[in-house]
Amino acid sequence: MKTYLLLVGLALIMLAGQSCNKFLDVKPKDIVIDKDFFKDFYDADYALRGAYAGLQPLIESMFVTGEMRADFVKPGPGVDTNLLELAEHRVTATNKYTNWKVYYDLINRANYLIKYIPRVPNDAINFTEDNARQYVGEALFLRAFAYFYLVRNFSHVPLVLTPTDSIQNIEYLPPSPENVILDTLEANLTAALTMVKDVILIRQPNLNLAESPDGRRTRGVTGNVNCLLADIYLWRHKYEPANAAIQKIYNLGKHNLYGSAAAANFFDIFYATDHVSEPIFHINFNYNFRETHPMMMLTSDDAAWGGKYMIAPADNIAGYWDNKLVQSGDTLRLVGDVRGFGAAWVGTRPYYNDFYSGNKVIWKYLGLGRILPSKLAIMPPIRQPYRSDAIWQGYRFAEVILMKAEALNRMGDKAGAITQVNRIRSRYGAIDVIPVTVNSTTEQIEDYIFKERARELAFEGKRWFDLLRLARRGRPEILKEAIKTRMGIVRYNALNMESKLADAANWYLPFNAEEVKLNPYLR
């Protein structure tokens, strides 16, 4: 397979005196690794940094494949053919988002660590046996993270568990069935939980150990591993194990809901790295180190800011939060869920605070704070041109709470599920009358939970996979209705979507054409 040729990129520390708690603030450099590379703690540390650097290239794929096929976004004026194919569910094998190179690159980096870290001599000060186990556990987490995205996008893919470092070692493998891959991931993550710790400890200049203030959010510690494991369990309809994994996160007591969406500090979740308690696992970028992601390019409507406006909020986006404006004297007041206008989406430039703007933009990756509706020429807090380094939230505690609600509901604990959802609602104040009770059906409560997920996690790369999870649970009509609502009935019928989406095979991406040419098992 072509992607197996990728050599592991090791992150070399380029900045003198760099703080240890900025583990991912590194500049990666690809180098060839041989069997003699892993000689000491420094080699192991560089290799682990390089593996984490492999997360950053995933962001575009995670966002696009997680949102473009669903109902919260639509093609923007700058859309290209690749995005349009995804939006209209007619993806071809030449589409750039069928290329799984970035995922297999991360997998190969992790495979190197899993194989070679145990060979590094132990060092009583810098690299104990526990340290080595931690590194291998983190590598298992990273590999599982990449494979779970591949499974949700392609269903079955080649399962590669050994590193490839030269053209002579290429092994073309047939795709493994989804259940085989997920069984492997569950076993790997269960093993990882015996290796990783609750916190990352770093050695200070005085040689004392202290908790890294950002380590538990950027590296594979106990909470992150349990979160990914719970997500996989929910995907597989294993509700009791999912609830047990989530409860372990609760028991750690290290995360809670942060602030209020009505307050300016809500946006700390997307740009503050050291003092926000809500993130479970996030991927950092640092503009000062030339680390940026494509979210500003994809979503901004301002070419001077680097925006191509390729992806925009869906036309009826305000309805998801029941957002409306009411006139109160000379003031426009927003009613409805405060997570909608001004937080998840806004109007268009120059001021973005015009609720009535026909066009809209996603705000989570452009803004630096909540904005209020106004006809006044007041510039909102916005990122500087090309400064596309908003934190990507892989998992945050609000999602964990909703995952627990989902598991409890399917386990028959309706009251417990509703209580969990109300924890999210209480952060924002009383939004509306809760539409479900313990007398509601399991499906009615599930619908409410997933609507809450949609409002809370809008534009965070979750929506399509949520719809797909419900479809796999025997409820494909929800997926169909969501796409019909976004497309409109005329376009939906013109593309024969009802028939197309009735076939579960069409819920997944086709294999990339170049990979098919190279690997005969993909044909």
pLDDT band at 22 (very low <50, low <70, confident <90, very high): very low
d(CA 101, CA 107): 10
Same domain assignment for residues 8 and 119: yes
pLDDT band at 33 (very low <50, low <70, confident <90, very high): low
346 has a pLDDT exceeding 70: yes
Q: How many domains does the chain have?
A: 2
Whole-number pLDDT of residue 430: 60
Asked if the structure places residue 168 within a domain, the reply is yes
pLDDT band at 387 (very low <50, low <70, confident <90, very high): very high
Asked if the structure places residue 354 within a domain, the reply is yes
Last residue of a domain, one of 217, 241, 271: 217
Asked if the structure places residue 70 within a domain, the reply is yes
pLDDT digits (tens, 9 = 90+) for 279-329: 999 999 999 989 999 999 999 999 999 999 999 999 999 999 988 888 877
For 35, the domain range is 2-217
494 has a pLDDT exceeding 60: yes
pLDDT band at 427 (very low <50, low <70, confident <90, very high): confident
Q: Closest Cα partner for 337 from 225, 451, 248, 231?
A: 451
Write the CATH number for 120. 1.25.40.390
The structure tokens listed for 422 are: 């109300």
Contact, 230 vs 214, CB < 8 A?
Answer: no
Same domain assignment for residues 199 and 308: no
Whole-number pLDDT of residue 262: 62
Last residue of a domain, one of 388, 412, 437: 388
Whole-number pLDDT of residue 21: 37
Q: How far is CA 34 from CA 31, 37, 116, 140, 163, in A?
A: 10, 6, 10, 21, 11
pLDDT digits (tens, 9 = 90+) for 74-92: 999 999 999 999 999 999 9
Same domain assignment for residues 182 and 92: yes
Question: Letter for the amino acid at 464?
Answer: W
Same domain assignment for residues 304 and 190: no
Please give the average per-residue pLDDT across 122-132, as a whole number: 89
Phi, psi (deg, nearest 5) at residue 65? -70, -25
Same domain assignment for residues 209 and 344: no
Average pLDDT, the chain: 88
Whole-number pLDDT of residue 330: 73
Same domain assignment for residues 56 and 153: yes
Last residue of a domain, one of 164, 197, 217: 217
pLDDT digits (tens, 9 = 90+) for 249-290: 999 998 888 876 566 677 888 877 666 789 999 999 999 989
pLDDT digits (tens, 9 = 90+) for 433-462: 789 999 999 999 999 999 999 999 999 999
Asked if the structure places residue 311 within a domain, the reply is yes
Check residue 199 and report its DSSP letter: S
pLDDT band at 206 (very low <50, low <70, confident <90, very high): low
Please give the average per-residue pLDDT across 152-163, as a whole number: 96
Same domain assignment for residues 28 and 136: yes
Same domain assignment for residues 189 and 307: no
